[in-house]
Amino acid sequence: MVDETGRWPATLQTVAAQRSFADRLAPDDGADFERVARGFIAGPSEAAIPNTGRSAMWAPFTWEFGRGDFVSGDAPDTVNPSLWRQAKLNSPSGLFEVVDGFYQVRGFDTSVVTFVRGATGWLVIDPLTTVETAGAALSLVREHLEDLPVVAVIYTHAHVDHYGGILGVTTREQVESGEIPVIAPDGFLRAAVDENVAAGAAMGRRAMYQYGLMLPWDERGHVDQGLAKGVPIGSITLVAPTIDITHTGQELSIDGVEIEFQLTPESESPAEMHFYFPQHRVLCLAENCTGTMHNLLTLRGALVRDALSWSRYIDEAIDLWGDDVEVSIASHSWPHWGRSDVVEHMTRQRDLYRWMHDEALRLANLGYSPDEIAAVVELPPGLWNDFSCHGYYGTVSHNVRAVYQRYLGWYDGHPSSLDPYPPVEAGERYVRFMGGIDQLVTNARASFEDGDYRWVAQVLRHAVSADPSHREARDLLAAAFEQLGYQAESGPWRDAYITGAMELRADGALVDFPFQPNADVVAGMQLDQIFDYLAIRANGPRLVDLGDFQINWVLEDDEDTRISISNGTLHAVPGRLAEEPAATITSPRAALSALARGDRAFPDLLADSGATVDGDRVLVEQLWGTLDSFPLFFPIIEPGVHARKGEA
């Protein structure tokens, strides 16, 4: 029965697909459920964590603990049975003891925060995504364990869900004074900024699909992220590390806790590390070994990750600590206890990433295209029978395509792929070839009745691109997306399909809301990163019209910078000044940060910040007037909107 929002139930074909999938799964020995429950101390004190940030106007709570309570009992027909099992494992929230002196708060965020008892206080590993969730986790620890100060923070890697909440467990002043060290892998700051700013608008929009941020949490909507329950919405900060881990074998002693480090760059993050606590025989594997297959190319977009190095780092960790380790923890999912269990888990995770890497390249060298590779690569029995190798987050399908992309790029070798028509032009031609849009939809409906939802989605993409107003095409494409989402084992695939269905039924109605980099992130950016972002925002054709020139930006509390405009491109060199600039801007660093964020137009920025311009002020205002503002909601289901508007 269709519900009030137009969502369909599972079709008979989907019900059959779910049962067939369940029959292929290995018997569940219950070990993961025992791991998840082990060491439980206390649940959350409140039903929700209030949002204290700017986003509170549309999301009053950063995290609501009861949203996933519908996940219980047997899997409904609208959810893949394996994903339903994973959703149950990700459901518990609260404080857990790992071993004496090591505690985790899980289920307060998409990530896991670990608290290690030092001689005088708590060492915090990965302070979650938001200030609100991190603060709530620390309060829970102090309520049920010891009310001790935080003595250090470790970032395992450069993704926001592992550093964004740091000001919930410490203050910027404590870090900058040296009272509380912040430890991170080499290259952390650049990686953190590059991944959240340079392509931030596009990545943020795509993340809405990957994480189902606009979906209701229920049996026909968002069920689970695969890696965790979901993503919190709240106050995100960035505090630069004060201690860099620069090489494998580096050791530190923090508040009496000894730590040995292993760098793992270009694995799950461009800057990432494992570390071992020899006094306790506890190994932190960051996000390289979790309770799921991870992404080699995340659906929100990022640099393609190095599957071969990823596998080798896990192998190296086994060699470094496999003879002594007794417990492994990670930045998501649950711990493993006992040397045998830990090493077996690491071994299968090692083999998982190597299998996808080697099979993708073997087939590529046999002449297979990316889509052909994705169609034939499956996990071998030894990996398929381990639920933690299943594609709840990454999938074999898109990961082997990512391996191909890393080595061979976007081009599949077929000459027709060199210069394809964009969506509107292609869609119009496909529709004509198929006898017109009404005939196309009629044929697609027959395929839908046969349960061939992948084909329906593929052909109706062209129909909607050619005529976004065709109601029947939109509704049928939405229904196909929905059934594909119901069948997906991957949480992100499910969310992407069902979000697409939601937007099709809403006629693509989008919120007019601009993307702005987080203020704390911009404050932590290096000067060259700020100017690189301004160069991305600068409209190249409009810059060409201004001609070639140089200006200087003199910063009262940072390096002076030479800015050159040449052939429509912007180049900035901190520490250098032009000898004959067209103009010189003088301001505090805060004015430059405000310009990068898009807080106000340049003339208003001058008035508000006390900045001055000597020389050709009109040219300077024209320069910064070329900056495009990026929308947080741009069309995905109707990619031809820009072409229809005649936009460049």
| Residues 453, 558 within the same domain | no
Query: Do residues 180 and 170 make contact, with C-beta atoms less than 8 angstroms apart?
Result: yes
What is the per-residue pLDDT for 58?
A: 81
Residue-wise pLDDT tens digits, 449-466: 999 999 999 999 999 999
| Residues 508, 523 within the same domain | no
Residue-wise pLDDT tens digits, 30-82: 999 999 999 999 999 999 999 998 888 888 999 999 999 999 999 999 999 99
| Residues 292, 343 within the same domain | yes
| Residues 537, 504 within the same domain | no
Residue-wise pLDDT tens digits, 146-181: 999 999 999 999 999 999 999 999 999 999 999 999
Which residue, 371, 389, 407, sits at the end of a domain?
Answer: 389
Q: With 80 as the cut, is the pLDDT of residue 643 above it?
A: no
What is the per-residue pLDDT for 371?
A: 96
Residue-wise pLDDT tens digits, 347-380: 999 999 999 999 999 999 999 999 999 999 999 9
State CA 551 to chain mean position distance.
Answer: 37
240-244, 353-357, 536-540, 602-606, range with the lowest pLDDT = 602-606
| 39 half-sphere exposure, CB direction, 13 A CA radius | 18
Model confidence band, residue 510 (pLDDT cutoffs 50, 70, 90): low
Percent residues over pLDDT 90 in the chain:
86
249 torsion bin: left (phi>0), alpha (psi -120 to 50), beta (else): left
Nearest-CA neighbor of 257 among 281, 222, 290, 233? Answer: 281
The structure's pTM equals: 0.95
Q: With 80 as the cut, is the pLDDT of residue 236 above it?
A: yes
SS3 for 231?
Answer: coil
What is the per-residue pLDDT for 200?
A: 87
In a domain, 546, yes or no: yes
Q: What is the CATH number of the domain that holds 103?
A: 3.60.15.30
Q: When comparing pLDDT for 29 and 1, which is higher?
A: 29
| Residues 359, 498 within the same domain | no
Q: With 60 as the cut, is the pLDDT of residue 508 above it?
A: no
What is the per-residue pLDDT for 509?
A: 53
Residue-wise pLDDT tens digits, 581-624: 999 999 999 999 999 888 888 888 888 888 899 999 999 999 99
Query: Do residues 368 and 148 make contact, with C-beta atoms less than 8 angstroms apart?
Result: no
Q: What is the CATH number of the domain that holds 607?
A: 3.30.1050.10
Instruction: Please give the residue range of the domain that contains residue 529.
Output: 519-624
| Residues 345, 475 within the same domain | no
| Residues 449, 471 within the same domain | yes
d(CA 25, CA 606): 63
In a domain, 398, yes or no: no
Q: With 70 as the cut, is the pLDDT of residue 645 above it?
A: no
What is the per-residue pLDDT for 641?
A: 57
Nearest-CA neighbor of 637 among 516, 522, 473? Answer: 473
| Residues 339, 469 within the same domain | no
d(CA 267, CA 317): 13
What stretch of H or E contains 328?
strand 327-329
| Residues 563, 482 within the same domain | no
Average pLDDT for the chain: 94
Q: What is the CATH number of the domain that holds 451?
A: 1.25.40.880
Q: What b/e sequence results for 96-133 when a residue is b if at least 16 CB atoms lie within 10 Å of its CB, and e otherwise? A: bebbebbbbbbbbbbbbbbbbbbeebbbbbbbbbbbbb
Count how many domains the chain has.
3
What is the per-residue pLDDT for 229?
A: 97
In a domain, 206, yes or no: yes
| Residues 583, 438 within the same domain | no
Query: Do residues 184 and 271 make contact, with C-beta atoms less than 8 angstroms apart?
Result: yes
| Residues 198, 95 within the same domain | yes
In a domain, 279, yes or no: yes
| Residues 355, 495 within the same domain | no
Tell me the three-class secondary structure of 105-157, residue by residue.
Answer: EECCCCCCEEEEECCCCEEEECCCCCHHHHHHHHHHHHHHCCCCCEEEEECCE
